[in-house]
Chains A and B, each alone.
Chain A
Amino acid sequence: RKEVEQDPGPFNVPEGATVAFNCTYSNSASQSFFWYRQDCRKEPKLLMSVYSSGNEDGRFTAQLNRASQYISLLIRDSKLSDSATYLCVVGGGRRALTFGSGTRLQVQP
């Protein structure tokens, strides 16, 4: 079983749609949680950190449920430029990051 599990997609959505990604992690000792965005053949770019209280940055909302070991990302009013792979990333006690395989999003005109 992978340490961080994500639905690989692809999610094909029209512009303006709301889309949600989910992720589960297996290590209950995990201490930090992130969503990164990766464009084709580029490096992962930090999208947002995820907190138990939930956090929002513009059209993006992230949520963490520690009891269920579940992380979510909601994107509202999707733009063409949101097309990318979204990586669920978890930080362990030794600070190394553990990556999911990513969920591919394609926003269509």
Chain B
Amino acid sequence: EAGVTQFPSHSVIEKGQTVTLRCDPISGHDNLYWYRRVMGKEIKFLLHFVKESKQDESGMPNNRFLAERTGGTYSTLKVQPAELEDSGVYFCASSPHNYEQYFGPGTRLTVT
């Protein structure tokens, strides 16, 4: 069974630009989560989808971040405009039953 996949693996952009991260969950997993790790800090929750609906977006830092999951399959996380403090590793995770979560390899975002 294929695991959670994320694209791109790395992204380097300039401050003020836009970046879109993509996550493909494990097939059949209704629950999809985004997390972020900034340097020197622990992994922090961003938001949670159940199918195409946002269940919890309490961790989204501000309105420069927009997450979508059209059709309840893959999800995108857009950062517009990117700021220096957005640099970090963005992880996606999926779960079939809202309990154990399986993580993708992450997207390492660097904003210069």
Contact = CB atoms under 8 A, between A and B. Distances in A.
Contact of A46 (B35, B55, B101, B106): B101
The dominant DSSP class at the A interface is strand
Contacts of B33: 96-97
Interface stretch (B43-51, B62-70, B79-87): B43-51
Contacts of A49: 99-100
Contacts of B31: 95
Contacts of A32: 99
Contacts of B56: 94-96
Nearest to A45: B103
A44 B98 contact: no
Given A44-B43, A44-B91, A97 B106 contact: no
Measured as residues with beta carbon below 8 angstroms from the partner, the interface class of chain B is: 20 to 34
B42 A99 contact: yes
- Give the interface centre of A32, A49, A96, A99 by most chain B CB atoms within 10 Å: A96
Contacts of B35: 97, 99
B96 interface: no
Interface in A11-60: 32, 34, 42-46, 49
B104 interface: yes
Given A96-B59, A97-B45, A99-B43, A46 B99 contact: no
Interface string A41-84: 01111100100000000000000000000000000000000000
Contacts of B45: 96-98
Interface of B: 31, 33, 35, 41-45, 48, 55-56, 58-59, 91, 93, 98-106
30 contacts: A2-B42, A4-B42, A32-B99, A34-B100, A42-B105, A43-B103, A43-B104, A43-B106, A44-B91, A44-B103, A46-B102, A49-B99, A87-B43, A91-B99, A94-B48, A94-B56, A94-B58, A95-B31, A95-B55, A95-B56, A95-B98, A96-B33, A96-B48, A96-B56, A96-B59, A97-B45, A97-B101, A98-B45, A101-B41, A101-B42
